[in-house]
Amino acid sequence: MRIRPSDRDRFDRMRRVEWMDMESVQLRRCLMVGAGALGNEVLKCLVLSGFRDITVVDMDEIVPSNLSRCLFFREEDVGRAPKAQVLAERASSLDSAVTIRPVVSRIQDAEDWDFDIVLGCLDNISARLHVNSHARYHGAPYVDGATDGLSGKVHTVLRDGPCLQCAMNRSHMKVLERRYTCTGREATLYSRPLAAEITTTSVVAAMEVREALKIASGREDLCVREVMYYDGMSGSIEKVELDVDPGCPNHGDREAIA
């Protein structure tokens, strides 16, 4: 079979996107927090897009209910190994040039925050607020994704824009409080699993990685500044404007925050 010169380069088609800087993308260090449904889809898109240095943090193990939404998990993985480890192994097979480091831990216990881009694939407000404040303090742009059934959201937090906490109100804090006991310790209480399905997860993950590609290409000016709300029933995306909250603790002087 003859292969045309333009087909010999894995990223030839991506280089044809005007603003894409593949050399820069390949050098960026990414932190992906969460190796569940969104994590599987985000990691797939990151590796196929040319990111080569990715750290995946997750503390969990694979259970059968994950298998309807997780591309890289198999039936034989149930109970075999932590999600982060399985995900790193399988996604690495997409590109021999990629290095994926699994970290089996709660993000609250992670110490290394030396990354160029952080991607959130989480399922609770507590972890989101932790990643939001740490990414901001360390100067890394943070792209957060969330889903609920056929609805989804993507919020890109840039150095000069509003953060996740700026968008929160008392209803978020009430959800957060339910995770804690009266002594302030995080409690393991039963909470009803949220609705989730793969098509919405895929759309939200793709939106997250597209924003990461803009950042990695040095084109933060192209990032969507508003919070994007996706409605899978109508197929619509609504952009909601948000300002920096002057009372948000994440927007003071960096030394003052420390």
Site of interaction with another protein (CB under 8 A): 34-39, 58-60, 63, 65-66, 69-70, 120-125, 127, 145-148, 151-153, 167-172, 174-175, 178, 191, 193-196, 201, 204, 226-227, 229, 239-243, 245, 247
Cβ at position 127, least distance to another protein in Å = 6
Contact, 69 vs 147, CB < 8 A? no
Q: Nearer to another protein by C-beta: 69 or 214?
A: 69
Task: Scan for tokens 């198999």, then name that residue.
Answer: 74
Q: 100: which strand partners?
A: 54
Cβ at position 7, least distance to another protein in Å = 36
Cβ at position 78, least distance to another protein in Å = 12
Task: Scan for tokens 């993985």, then name that residue.
Answer: 77
CA distance 156 to 140: 11
Q: Nearer to another protein by C-beta: 11 or 229?
A: 229
Both tokens of residue 177? 């409080």
Cβ at position 148, least distance to another protein in Å = 4
Cβ at position 6, least distance to another protein in Å = 37
CA distance 167 to 172: 9
Q: Which residue in 65, 56, 46 sits closest to 85, CA to CA?
A: 56
Q: Nearer to another protein by C-beta: 12 or 148?
A: 148
Q: Nearer to another protein by C-beta: 35 or 157?
A: 35
Q: What is the CA radius of gyration of the chain?
A: 18
Q: Nearer to another protein by C-beta: 96 or 236?
A: 236
Report DSSP state, residue 185.
Answer: P
Both tokens of residue 75? 């039936």
Q: Nearer to another protein by C-beta: 39 or 50?
A: 39
Cβ at position 13, least distance to another protein in Å = 29
Element containing residue 118 per DSSP (H, E): strand 117-120
Which CB contacts under 8 angstroms, 24+ apart, belong to 138-144? 138/113, 138/114, 140/31, 140/113, 140/115, 140/116, 141/116, 141/117, 141/215, 141/220, 142/118, 143/117, 143/118, 143/119, 143/208, 143/211, 143/212, 143/215, 144/119, 144/120, 144/208
Q: Nearer to another protein by C-beta: 97 or 195?
A: 195
Cβ at position 1, least distance to another protein in Å = 41
CA distance 258 to 247: 17
